[in-house]
Chains A and B, each alone.
Chain A
């Protein structure tokens, strides 16, 4: 009865020795190294490194977008400050231009659909576009402004060609509705 704990202790020592030997030989060491490397690299399926050209293009793209954002904010601020000052403190020019109807044909209506946009000249079209869901707007913009084919639009929106057709038909119906309303108003 007294021998049993002694044998158990010997077994424990043997196991410990075996583990230590395995690490010393390099069995466990390699596995550990591999695991630590995977952890360091962020997993087995690590993306392939980018080429220098790709990196530069991405840097330029980011630079351009940031520059346009800064310029846009700066120019708009300048424009609104000037507009406020001009209307507030220059009555002489207002006298000179009295009775002159200034029209800006370039000031067209703009409709956005996420990353796409289009310019419109008729108010009823603008209202119709704004009443449409984004996907219908996208279909019309890609079709009429970018001249894409239905298949290309379907690929872009990740829908079927039939869906593109349906979206376009629904968009036409909305435009027709707003055109009728405009005629009724006039």
Chain B
């Protein structure tokens, strides 16, 4: 059963994993403060400076799944997968404008989640509930994908991929993760993120130097690509083809990123506006890393790893997601393959921890305290969040073990379409006046249309074949759904405001309404 295990790589992997787990438990005592409030447990007390925030946000946004799935996309679909690079370029100018304002608002009112902002701005529990639920359903499959990342890595170490023994490493790693997240809250991933990022940087720098040298240089890697993978499908008359798809994927993903609960959690844990702004300037370092990692997909094509008989079974099971692990196993000595695979696995733990904390914050703050026990003390609130963070992780493990991998991937694709529907209420409301009823209506329309658009593609692609005046404009369904949502929100807000102005001459701006 264990005859395929790579002993050296597994030993190195195991040692690094133990180190990281110890750090996770020790984190509770780091910058000690009573962990009895949600602000302390769920936001690390909001005391992280520029450097720790940089590691935390970077470790949070650039997940293990990114490191496996983006190259897998280039491996399978070619140039289209490179949209991850413009995506991560477009994030930061936008975030530099928006996040400092959100941070200040959060500090002023003690906000922990995106739904907190909405609740306070509009005084509408229903709209806040919609935002909270969107965050929850978008985060859950994202956590499941991190697990799939770990599964792929464990398989690469040579563990059996099926049966209880095959599932054991995943169960154990998630049990440990659950335990230290419960105990240390956001401090645990913050500390682990430092180790993770150092390992990832070492791995990638080695990879982009060693592997191209083995393959005969970058020109040879690119020269061996089929033309339809090398570039995007150019626009022709009546069809924007790859052009609009690429641009809308980049733009839509960039607008959506900081709406994800885990992204916001990491940002709100920063100690000042200065820290937030500096990070928007410094985080592109990770984007460069991601761009280079993406190219591993092409290196895997050049190395023909999917044609090697020893990996055939894994490619059958994990498809392109096995491209990067296979490339590492092929190109690195065993001990360094252990380091590289550990970097990927630990890279899954950091975001999984932050995601489960963010989901717990959302549930506790915006559902439990809002609808179930409005009079709960802050200790009870924190305890509830700790328990929910456990439930969320157990749920994700059960999901991954019980259902085909494909479901998690499809749900995550839907998650991107859903989460962007909270953009008007959470971010655009900073700049425009909306009526909460209009926002809710827009949200419903966006969610419904976006889900339909993904279903029409059998949940296999998030690109919608839009036809405008006889011209095909294929594009990211999330962005098209957002356009619908926004039209409804803006128009209905205008209508509702006009009607109220007619009925009562002394108008009150709806944004000033407090609960």
Q: Do A and B come from one complex?
A: no
Query: Which residues of A pack against B, CB within 8 Å?
Result: none
